[in-house]
Amino acid sequence: MAAKSNAYMGSTTSLKQIDKSEKWLDALSDPLTSLYTFNSSIALSDLNGDGDSKLIVADLGTGTYQMKLKVFRGTSLMSENTLLDLPTGVVTFHMDTTEPRVPAIAVASGAYIYIYKNLRPYFKFTLPTLEVNPSEFDLWTQARDDLIDHATLYDTLDLLRKDVGAHCLTTRTQHLLMCRTPEERQTFIDAHKYFIVKKRTVITCITTMKKNMAEEDAVSCLVLGTESCQVYVLDPEAFTLLMNLHLPSVPSILTVTGMFDVEYRMLIACRNGKIYTAKRGMEEGRLTAELSSQPVGLERREKSFLVGCMDDNVYCFSNHGKLLWRLRLGASLLCMTTMELASHAQKLLLVSLSNGEIRTYQDRQMVDSFQLEHAANALRFGRFGREENVLLIVDQAGGLQVKILRRRAKFEPMETASALTAGKELKLNIPKKTKLFVDQTMRERDNSQSMHRIFQYNLYLLRLEAARQYVKSLQMSLTPVTTEEQPVRLAAQVLGLGPMFKIRVELQNTSALKIVQDLGIRVHADEKLYQVQRRFMHAPILIPGVTYVYDTLVEFVSDLGISDQVRVFITRGTQSRPILSAVINMPVAEVAVSA
């Protein structure tokens, strides 16, 4: 724990210089709005159709009381509606084609959807009741008729819960099972047993899907995920169920693209840490990706999707569920959202971390970061007021911040350091342990000493051989660079395709001051194969630093299709021992075309 908090401190200090981003203008920072809300309960929409986009927030109040639907216009609160229960999500959508074209607000809360039009309550939709588990139903009927006592009812229901899972039971049973003392149970049962037991599910997430037209203000259906592991699509005008999708677990985040009547694709992140896909015509979700922990956020990209998880990572999967990359955040992820910049055709990912940092990523590359005083609970990017690119932040202290993206701001990768860490994350493909592998390990463990000795012996032999060869080459001047007395570098190359080649010898005096004089260049080759035009060339003087070039023609004279080596020696004065030498491997000569 101590180490962890240290790590946090380390990261905050290193971020000091970037805690304010020059890309954003602070339009509003109100610490006193006391909003308690999450990403799913915020929406931006031009509610009055006057070109001035409003902020709609479903405020959870204290968490038990004071739940409100608030609408902000610019910097001030414009309207407030009391909500009866905790909201789980807010969306705005066009439910009909009547003029003027203003969107409605849908607030999901419990088993209901409250629709507001022109900021006034308009309609309440109730989810259909579900079939009660027959044994549960019988138990409650028997309790009503006083056929069983409270303890039996409680115990049998508890057994039933273990059998089918708590989510298959009614909320009444769930409540009962949560009562701790027998007295509490007794009062609860007495208060409820005369009412018929009903099973009602609760909405867990909500989103919208265009019905049959793609326009910005086209009519949209509501898409709901429920505690009963289902996804419903509602008709926007008649509020009838258009579709019912079954999932193996409770959906927690929904994203939809496409149109209901044409073709659509849903991505559903569930509480079991799995992601399912559903297309038009499917009755059940298809497993697409399995996560190692619970999802926090789900954002869709063109051919992939991004999932932020509780293990502080963001994963990118292809639409077919292949893991493309992973990004380590280094702090807990609170929420994430997409920042779409139409002017730059960019889709960036904004993440809020528990240490109060807001980071912007383009794919895996961090492109921006700034620090908040309190960590952000909710982030939303979009059109607000008359400004296109606005970021709204609701922090954990309840404050609302509005940041406007500067017109000239560009998001480009900040540094290559993140690229390095990206490299580090490459996963090695480690094969499974085979029998052979185990045998080898055993053998190595048993014979470690002798193996080490043999290895050392061979290593010494290798070093000895290398030293010998080195001495030999020094003695015979086989290297292309000479030592102290004659600081000359030799480079030889062969040009042409044959049968006529040109050998080009470059000599360079590598010393700073010393002048080298009276060198001879000898070109030696097998006379049966090559005819060298100038076997000897004289280099009278080499000035330090200058490269001297000497050429000679070499003709391949044999009719065998082979090639050989040509040696170049550098001698000095009348000494016959070369001071330098080079070996040129001649290419196989092409046959002369004219012949």
Partner 1 sequence: MGLFNTLATALGLRKREVNVIVVGLDNSGKSTILNHLKPDLERAADIVPTVGFNVERFKAQSLAFTAFDMSGQGRYRNLWEHYYRDCDAIIYVVDSSDKLRMVVAKDELDALLQHPDIRPRRIPLLFFANKMDLKEAMSSVKVTMMLGLEKMENKQFHICASNAITGEGLSDGIAWLTQAAEGRQSKT
- Residues of this chain that interact with partner 1 (CB under 8 A) are 25-28, 51, 74-76, 343, 384-388, 402, 404, 406-408
| Beta carbon nearer to partner 1, 408 or 424 | 408
- Least spacing, CB of residue 426 vs partner 1, in Å: 41
CB of 27 to partner 1, least distance (A): 5
User: Measuring CA to CA, how many Å separate 235 from each of 93, 179, 231, 521?
Assistant: 12, 39, 13, 93
Shorter beta-carbon distance to partner 1: residue 256 or 402 = 402
Cβ 405 to partner 1 shortest distance, Å: 10
Token readout for 282 is 């499917």
Residue with tokens 């009963």: 228
Q: Which is nearer to partner 1, 23 or 274 (CB)?
A: 23
Give residues with Cβ within 8 angstroms of 454, minimum separation 6: none
CB of 51 to partner 1, least distance (A): 8
Please identify, using beta-carbon distances, which residue of 400 and 523 lies nearer to partner 1.
400
Which is closer to partner 1, CB of 102 or CB of 404?
A: 404
Instruction: Provide the minimum distance between the beta carbon of 106 and partner 1 in the complex, in angstroms, as a whole number.
Output: 26
CA contacts within 13 A on the Cβ side of 304: 14
Q: Which of 393, 293, 414 is nearest to 350 (CA)?
A: 393
Cβ pair 335, 352 in contact under 8 A:
yes
Residue 51 belongs to what H/E stretch?
A: none
Helix axes 134-144, 150-164, angle to 10 degrees: 170
For the bound state, the minimum distance from the C-beta of residue 408 to partner 1, rounded and expressed in Å, comes to: 8
Based on CB atoms, which residue is closest to partner 1, 333 or 348? 348
Nearer to partner 1, 287 or 409 (CB): 409
Query: Which residue, 277 or 401, is less far from partner 1 as judged by CB?
Result: 401
Q: What tokens does 386 get?
A: 């008359």
Residue number, 198 or 406, with CB nearest to partner 1: 406
CB of 389 to partner 1, least distance (A): 8
Q: What is the rounded CA–CA span in Å between residue 152 and residue 182?
A: 11
Residue number with CB closer to partner 1 (386 or 502): 386
Residue 336's nearest CA partner among 298, 366, 367 is: 298
Min separation Cβ 376 and partner 1, Å: 19
Instruction: Decide: helix, strand or coil at residue 592.
Output: coil
Residues 6+ apart with CB under 8 A from 146: none
Tell whether omega for the bond before 100 is within 30 degrees of 0, i.e. cis. yes
Q: Residue 555: exposed, middle, or buried by beta-carbon count in 10 A (0-12, 13-18, 19+)?
A: middle
Which of 539, 580, 589, 525 has the alpha carbon at shortest distance from 561? Answer: 589
Nearer to partner 1 by C-beta: 386 or 410?
Answer: 386
Closest CA to 188 of 157, 164, 154, 161: 154
Angle at 453 between CA 451 and CA 459, to 5 degrees: 105
Compute the least distance from the CB of residue 348 to partner 1, in Å: 18
Axis-axis angle for helices 171-178, 150-164 (nearest 10): 110
CB of 338 to partner 1, least distance (A): 20
For residue 509, the SS3 value is strand
Q: Return phi, psi of residue 135, to 5°.
A: -65, -35
Cα–Cα distance measured from residue 144 to residue 189, given in angstroms and rounded to the nearest whole number: 9
Nearer Cβ to partner 1 (25/414):
25
CB closer to partner 1 out of 363 and 388: 388
Comparing CA positions, the residue from 539, 527, 534 lying closest to residue 490 is 539
Q: Helix or strand or coil: residue 309?
A: strand
Pairing of strands 274-279, 286-290: antiparallel
| Angle of CA points 244, 245, 247, to nearest 5° | 145
Give the H or E element holding residue 13.
helix 2-14
CB of 404 to partner 1, least distance (A): 6
The sign one gets for the Cα dihedral 223, 198, 252, 70 is: positive
When the beta carbons of 25 and 241 are compared against partner 1, the nearer one is: 25
Q: How far is the CB of 403 from partner 1 (least distance, A)?
A: 9
Q: What is the widest separation between alpha-carbon atoms in the chain?
A: 127
Q: Which is nearer to partner 1, 110 or 385 (CB)?
A: 385
Residues 6+ apart with CB under 8 A from 455: none
Q: How far is the CB of 28 from partner 1 (least distance, A)?
A: 6
Quick one: how far is CA 126 from the chain centroid?
A: 38
Least CB distance to partner 1 at residue 73 (A): 9
Cβ pair 558, 529 in contact under 8 A: yes
CB of 77 to partner 1, least distance (A): 12
